[in-house]
Structure 1
Amino acid sequence: MNRQLPPTAPSPAWSQSRTAIVTGGGSGIGLAIARRLAAEGAAVAVLDRDAAAAKAAADGITAAGGHALGLTADVAERASIDDAVAQVRERLGRPTILVTSAGLDGFDRFLTIAPSTWDRILAVNLTGTFHCCQAVVPDMVEQKWGRIVTISSSSAQTGNPLMTHYSAAKAGVVGFTKALALELGPEGITVNTIPPGFVDTPMLRRSETRGFLGKGVGQHESTTPVRRVGLPEDIAAACAYLVREEAGYITGQVIAVNGGRTT
């Protein structure tokens, strides 16, 4: 059977305009992803709980020649997500790319984790991913094309002391991604997850300041096979490939970006 293959040297831009939603896009990994997708031709909606950060991110993308919209949204609140997605449809068009980068970490000894803390960590990291996907997938089904990239964590693969709640939530994201990929594949929608390793973000630096990284970031650089800490742009590069047209045969996969720390 003859099948048409994608071009061997595809353009980084899509053949038609795409609208992307990036949650947690106001800083760190989410911001790098939003900037990268905009640079590759997508109209990007930057969603973040921090209204000022969402606006600053969108303004920066626009100043660089891209097309972006900053919106305030809490992924743990379904009404907030539904409202934001409605605004995206009205102002940018139907979204067919979704990157769920919003996240919340926590460092607590297991026996001291309050049920409310457990619920909040899962609400943001796992239930928030569910909310975002369920709000956007109908647009992808209608277009018979979609790309979803969830941002999980290497903690889901290895576990981390003092992070049973966070590791559990991110492991849930991995399982969710795999199941959703199987269900949505026939609709022309791919679903993959990137579990970042040791990446230099504001969240990481806060952990360092609180004394949760031993002797600090430098210590972990020396134990990373590529001998450097990851950058948000490293995650953005992998994400940019997964949402392209030619990545349509990749789904349900865990694409680890961690400098070799977890193989």
Structure 2
Amino acid sequence: MSESDAVDFSLVGKVALVTGAGRGIGQGIALSLAQAGADLVLADYDIGIAEEAAANVRAVGRRALALQVDVSEPASVSAMIEQVRERFGRLDVAVNNAGVVSLGKVDELPVSEWDRIMNINARGVFLCCQAELRLMREHNFGRIINLASIAGKVGFPALSHYSASKFAVIGFSNAFAKEVAREGITVNALCPGVVGTGMWRGEQGLSARWAEPGETEEQSWARHQAALLPQGEAQTVEDMGQLAVYLACAPHVTGQAIAVDGGFSL
């Protein structure tokens, strides 16, 4: 490999947008991108936690803009991109991370809950990609990273609606990547495994809801790591950030759904 072919993992001079950036994986990815040199737009439904995440980015010496967005609403997404244009004039990296989860078996799941999950997790990715593409095309460059899940590769009971939304993200990302492959724009899906953020931990997390009788949340969390993950330990937000930085820099990786899951999925 020649020196000119080597991937440069610096994002200095780049502008990155992360949705759902106020907590968990989104916050971790935003900080990783900032540490690699990018300036950040941190968008979240809750502007308060977006502002807190922006402060962490500024602490590592990068510019940061916090925005409120509802990714399921076209007008809100368009307004977000216009604010990115006004503040930075360009968009190089977009991480469409905003998402929600709930539990419900197919025969008990309200249609309204199916629609809520799909509107945020799948429709939200579509709307963001549409808007981001318009700005990226102005500079013939872009790196789009859509957050899917191992539940987008393997179904889980009581998560049919969530799995459906994440399978949709993977299929959409692969098709979209082929549409823009000759425009200097890559599109990939990042599939987190078992990460100790709000989806899994705490009173409302999956480890608490899936606890066996008499089992504490902590014991359930340990059991699920041991049972689901060949490596036997959970992944971290920093793991997700490392892959996001790579995908933000790699010019010839596109249309992929890459899992960071300790060996759980194919």
Q: Which amino acid aligns with 2:141?
A: W
Query: Are the equivalent residues in 1 in contact too, given 2:207–2:224 (CA < 8 A)?
Result: no
Residue number in structure 2 paired with 1:243:
248
Query: Are the equivalent residues in 2 in contact too, given 1:121–1:169 (CA < 8 A)?
Result: yes
C-alpha displacement of 1:210: 4.1
Aligned equivalent of 2:111, options 111, 115, 124: 115
- Structure 2 Cα separation of the partners of residues 123 and 248 of structure 1: 30
Q: Deviations over 1:83-109 (max 9, x none)?
A: 111111111221121101111101011
Residue number in structure 2 paired with 1:233:
238
Alignment of 1:1-263 (within 5 A): 6-8=4-6, 10-14=7-11, 17-205=13-201, 206-208=204-206, 210-212=208-210, 214=212, 215-223=219-227, 224-244=229-249, 247-263=250-266
C-alpha displacement of 1:262: 1.1
Structure 2 residue runs of 5 or longer lacking an equivalent are: 213-218
Query: Are the equivalent residues in 1 in contact too, given 2:196–2:235 (CA < 8 A)?
Result: yes
- Name segments (4+ residues, structure 1) moved above 4 Å: none
Q: Deviations over 1:230-252 (max 9, x none)?
A: 111111101110011xx111100
Q: Secondary structure at the match of 1:186?
A: coil
Q: Which moved more, 1:138-147 or 1:24-33?
A: 138-147
Q: Which amino acid aligns with 2:51?
A: K
Q: Residues 39 and 118 from structure 1, CA distance in 2 versus in 1: closer, same or farther, beyond 3 angstroms?
A: same
C-alpha displacement of 1:213: 5.2
Q: Which amino acid aligns with 2:242?
A: A
Q: TM-score, normalised by structure 1?
A: 0.93
Q: Deviations over 1:37-67 (max 9, x none)?
A: 1111111100000111000000121122121
- Structure 2 Cα separation of the partners of residues 4 and 135 of structure 1: 36
Q: TM-score, normalised by structure 2?
A: 0.92
- Structure 2 Cα separation of the partners of residues 213 and 154 of structure 1: 20
> Identity across aligned pairs (percent)?
38
- Structure 2 Cα separation of the partners of residues 237 and 156 of structure 1: 20
Q: Which amino acid aligns with 1:219?
A: R
Q: Secondary structure at the match of 2:143?
A: strand
Q: How many equivalent pairs are there?
A: 257
Q: Secondary structure at the match of 2:153?
A: helix
Q: Residues 118 and 94 from structure 1, CA distance in 2 versus in 1: closer, same or farther, beyond 3 angstroms?
A: same
Structure 1 residue runs of 5 or longer lacking an equivalent are: none
- Structure 1 Cα separation of the partners of residues 151 and 120 of structure 2: 16
Please provide the CA RMSD for this pair. 1.7
C-alpha displacement of 1:209: 6.0
Q: Which moved more, 1:39-48 or 1:219-228?
A: 219-228
